[in-house]
Chains A and B, each alone.
Chain A
Amino acid sequence: MSKRPDGRKVDEMRDIEAKVGVIEEADGSAMFRIGNTIAVAGVYGPKKVVPRHLEDPEKAILKCYYDMYSFSVPERKRPGPDRRSIELSMVIKNALAPAIFLKEYPKTQIEVFVSIIQADAGTRCAAISAAAMALADAGIAMKDMVAAVAAGHVNGEVVIDLNKEEEDIEGTSDIPMAYMPRTKKITLLQLDGKLPNDKLKAVMELGTKSCEAVYEVEKKALKEKYTPAESE
């Protein structure tokens, strides 16, 4: 049994906190914190498409914007989009789109904005979990939820939810995953590192199992907002 830097078990995620309804102006919003990573998502729409020639007569267009606060990382990041955030915005969109009944909202757009307020690895996964809750909070018709967490391969072992310290260990593989728990489909899978081929199955098993646990947290946060207080 190798020790993880913060003493967690291989299948143990950091502590998670989720809250629905954190941005008053947005149609739907949520905060998702996992360890020291904090993501806040806001959803606007369905609304008119601008510019109008981009509208799709068949379905809604989903737009995602991932924005990392300049001071969310140890070394200041220039504010505004860069190549990394543009790619992440795209993979986040692809992770969420399969869960939404986009055909219910033709000729409209749904905008999802995610701010990373504090970063300690796993930000795209936290962004997806926050965004899925925000979409549900906005009342958008969904066929499933999306829950996300990064699996990894550190010091020869398959582990879940790397923090930055673990991610920086030589030879580590970082494997962010997003999963739809009802239809049991993986909607985001990326890897960078060196993963022995025979470990991929174990990675996916631990990843999806952990996404199920994240899904429970999401459900609870949504219920907290929408369950009326017990009347006497």
Chain B
Amino acid sequence: MIVGKEDFRKYVLSLSEKGKRVDGRGFLDYRQPIKIEYGVSKNAEGSAAVTIGKTRVICGVKTEIGTPYPDRPDEGTMIVTAEFAAIASPDFDPGAPGEKSIELARIVDRGIRESGAIDTKKLCVTEGEKVWLVFLDIYIQNHDGNLIDAAALAALAALKNAKFPKLNEDGTIDYHEHTDTPIPIVKLPVACTITKIGKNLFADANVDEEKISDARITITTDENGTINAIQKGGEDGMTQEEIAKCAEIATEKAKELRKYLG
């Protein structure tokens, strides 16, 4: 952004009165191209890179054997992490994960967990003793806004791409040999984030729009339209009407994004 924030905001608002956005998109259009590349990192059990416009996010799946939680002795678990690596944006600083990367990981986690996307009972090896732990690690490669939607889609794509490694008789894992057994995915939760600038609601905000936005809401829905996760972000409040409208938009947009999973 070359101009000051204030001036840029005025410009965005004046364009919006004519029904336009800075990059020529409609209010509810996602940037193009939208691309999903599978198997971008061969040592991972599964991996995927998602591109939305210039935003690019990579997610990889790794597995380990661990002990189940006492209250769920026959279910495996999933752990999501996200790194806002400073390679991806002049706005990121090197160092430990900050609140934004933790928030992103937790939104992605909730969508997958609450939708029951992974059949965690099938991750059980020996009840009460051994279960598969599924790690989903998200790395931002280029940040041009709307990281949440890209990350959630990358996580789901990486899971769909994942095959279990070989489990030896003695309980150790041979990571050099992957089986043909996929990680059981039974739901497809897709996150869609709507950004509020003034009275306007934009889908898929780019990084410049995000910087001058008032509020943001992410709504994750599965293929039946059930809402699995919501995260309201940003500093300003939103009205009930606005949120209801966002839910409607997010559900429709999630259907479009889901198609890219093939």
Q: Per-residue 0/1 for B107-145: is the Cβ within 8 Å of any A Cβ (1 yes, 0 no)?
A: 000000000000000000000000000010101011110
Interface size on A, residues (CB 8 A): 32
Contact A44 B90 (CB under 8 A): yes
Nearest-CB distance from A141 to chain B (Å)? 20
User: A67, A71, A120: which contacts B62 (Cβ < 8 A)?
Assistant: A71
Any chain A CB within 8 A of the CB of B175? yes
A18-68 CB contacts (< 8 Å) to partner B: 23-26, 36, 38, 40-42, 44, 47, 63, 65, 67
B63-95 CB contacts (< 8 Å) to partner A: 64, 81, 83, 85-90, 94
Most buried by B among A42, A67, A69, A114: A69
Given A44-B90, A115-B139: A70 in contact with B62 (beta carbons within 8 A): yes
Q: Which of A4-12, A74-82, A175-183 is near enough to bind chain B?
A: A74-82
Contact B87 A42 (CB under 8 A): yes
Task: Give A165's nearest chain B residue, CB to CB.
Answer: B176
Given A40-B141, A113-B94: A69 in contact with B41 (beta carbons within 8 A): yes
Any chain A CB within 8 A of the CB of B54? yes
Contact B135 A70 (CB under 8 A): yes
Any chain B CB within 8 A of the CB of A118? yes
User: B54, B87, B137, B141: which contacts A70 (Cβ < 8 A)?
Assistant: B137
A59-103 CB contacts (< 8 Å) to partner B: 63, 65, 67, 69-76, 79-80
Any chain B CB within 8 A of the CB of A117? yes
Contact A73 B43 (CB under 8 A): yes
Q: Per-residue 0/1 for B91-109: is the Cβ within 8 Å of any A Cβ (1 yes, 0 no)?
A: 0001011000000000000
B25-77 CB contacts (< 8 Å) to partner A: 40-45, 47, 54, 58, 60-62, 64
Task: Give A73's nearest chain B residue, CB to CB.
Answer: B43
Given A70-B137, A74-B43: A25 in contact with B90 (beta carbons within 8 A): yes
A residues in contact with B54, CB < 8 Å? 24-25
Most buried by A among B44, B54, B143, B144: B44
Contact A117 B88 (CB under 8 A): no
B residues in contact with A120, CB < 8 Å? 43
Bound: A205/B106 CA distance, A: 51
Contact A113 B58 (CB under 8 A): no
Sample of 10 further A-B pairs with CB below 8 A, known A36-B42, A117-B58: A23-B142, A24-B54, A24-B142, A38-B41, A42-B87, A69-B137, A71-B44, A76-B64, A113-B87, A118-B40
| Pairs A–B under 8 Å by Cβ, sample size 27 | A24-B142, A25-B142, A25-B144, A36-B42, A40-B141, A42-B88, A44-B86, A69-B60, A71-B45, A71-B47, A71-B61, A72-B41, A72-B44, A73-B43, A75-B175, A76-B64, A76-B135, A76-B137, A79-B81, A80-B97, A113-B94, A115-B85, A115-B139, A115-B141, A117-B40, A117-B41, A118-B43
Shortest 5 CB-CB distances between A and B: which pairs? A71-B60, A74-B175, A113-B87, A71-B44, A76-B62
